[in-house]
Amino acid sequence: MDAFRFHNPTTLYYGKGQIEKYLADEVTRIGKCVLLLYGGGSIKRNGLYDKVVGILKEAGVTIFELAGVEPNPRLTTVHKGIDICRAENVDLILAVGGGSVLDCAKAIAMGVKYDGDVWDIYVRKGKATGALPLGTILTLAATGSEMNSGGVITNWETKEKVGGGSEYTFPVFSFCDPENTYTVPKDQTIYGTCDMLAHCFEHYFHPTRHTPLQQHLIEAVMKTIVDNAKLAIDHPDDYDARETMMYCSTMALNGMINMGLRGDWACHAIEHEISAIYDIPHGGGLAIIFPHWMEYTKSVNPSRFASLAKYVFGVDGTGKSDDQLADIAIAKVREFYQSIGAPQRLADYDIGSDQLDRMASQAVRFGEIGNFKKLGKDDVYKILEAAL
């Protein structure tokens, strides 16, 4: 493995009843003035909004609200949040929602402390200098944003979707109650599954030598996702299944299973360009791209794909070459996506070939992407073309 530094200071609360027991304490330890950030209003329909506001009010907390954070959160919304925090001297941002709301909260938190446009930090023209404290209440199992410092913001004007973060943007606390995901629609549950599995893939396909424990830890998360996803999708109020998927999503991207290795992340970079132009769900885009990326890169290290087949999909490797097992692994990945109803091709979103060149150029605008295999513009173009 590579030498590494690991630090994840987020306090994680999992399970039923934790919000009622500990939210007020966690908030008021930090301050008495909160920006409550949420999305399209599902938390009003399922009662979570009333619960949270009730708890905060009883604790004497002043609440400012910013609702309507978009599924791919936009810079304009981030700017609105920064303005509120500055005008009202907000002590803490409380993000209630899925990864988009959480990512938006991180951008606002950095922006409040940044002298300039927070977008600079995302396009690597500036560095975060601090952040308002932020806490989260998760309502969607997908991005892992509840226990990491990163997030993705879309600049709709320039059609750019970029990931960023800083050491300051780990949530101070995150509450994950599986019951808050019962009302997540079927398609979002599917996309969330694709997203968390994609995070595992990004870790798993890496060039770092000698990482046996990390390999098996990542396999543990992948196997659990594969074994439990369909249950959560078909039975949205199955507590055990929702709990397992929520916990997998947290563990897939909190840094605990991938210490000391450089993940690939090319597929995320490619998908960001698709959804920056077409505004498609991130998880859907990832499910489309990954099998084609796997076909394109499998020759780099077939044995990694063979391990995927054996340890995640339970394939008996006896008498099979790594190349054969690699093909089986990719077929199994496709089968899995199909079994949960994930999209298979760009055509499923009515995306044709007219913007391929632009997406391929944009994907490599900071240089080659990917660590398992370095990809230039031509490579990205070919992968996108195969996915049409």
Q: Which residues bind a second copy (CB under 8 A)?
A: 1-18, 22, 210, 212-213, 216-217, 219-221, 223-224, 227-228, 240, 243-244, 247-248, 251, 256, 259-260
Tell me how far, at minimum, the Cβ of 145 lies from a second copy, in Å.
16
Q: Which one, 22 or 168, has the nearer CB to a second copy?
A: 22
Tell me how far, at minimum, the Cβ of 27 lies from a second copy, in Å.
15
DSSP class of residue 379 equals H
Taking alpha carbons only, the member of 200, 161, 191, 226 closest to residue 304 is 200
> Do the beta carbons of residue 346 and residue 385 sit within 8 Å?
no
Tell me how far, at minimum, the Cβ of 226 lies from a second copy, in Å.
11
Tell me how far, at minimum, the Cβ of 267 lies from a second copy, in Å.
23
Q: Which one, 39 or 171, has the nearer CB to a second copy?
A: 171
Tell me how far, at minimum, the Cβ of 2 lies from a second copy, in Å.
7
Tell me how far, at minimum, the Cβ of 272 lies from a second copy, in Å.
28
Q: Which one, 45 or 216, has the nearer CB to a second copy?
A: 216
Q: Which one, 155 or 301, has the nearer CB to a second copy?
A: 301
Q: Which one, 205 or 247, has the nearer CB to a second copy?
A: 247
Distance between CA atoms of 182 and 173, rounded to whole angstroms?
Answer: 22
DSSP class of residue 32 equals S
Burial of residue 208 (CB within 10 Å: 0-12, 13-18, 19+) is middle
Q: Which one, 213 or 347, has the nearer CB to a second copy?
A: 213
Distance between CA atoms of 347 and 350, rounded to whole angstroms?
Answer: 5
Tokens coding 366: 């900071």
Q: How far is CA 237 from CA 47, 54, 240, in A?
A: 16, 25, 9
Distance between CA atoms of 178 and 181, rounded to whole angstroms?
Answer: 5
Q: Which one, 202 or 219, has the nearer CB to a second copy?
A: 219
SS3 state of residue 38: coil
> Do the beta carbons of residue 388 and residue 353 sit within 8 Å?
yes
Tell me how far, at minimum, the Cβ of 262 lies from a second copy, in Å.
14
Distance between CA atoms of 32 and 334, rounded to whole angstroms?
Answer: 49
Taking alpha carbons only, the member of 181, 197, 299, 300 closest to residue 253 is 197
Tell me how far, at minimum, the Cβ of 208 lies from a second copy, in Å.
12
Q: Which one, 139 or 174, has the nearer CB to a second copy?
A: 174
SS3 state of residue 30: helix
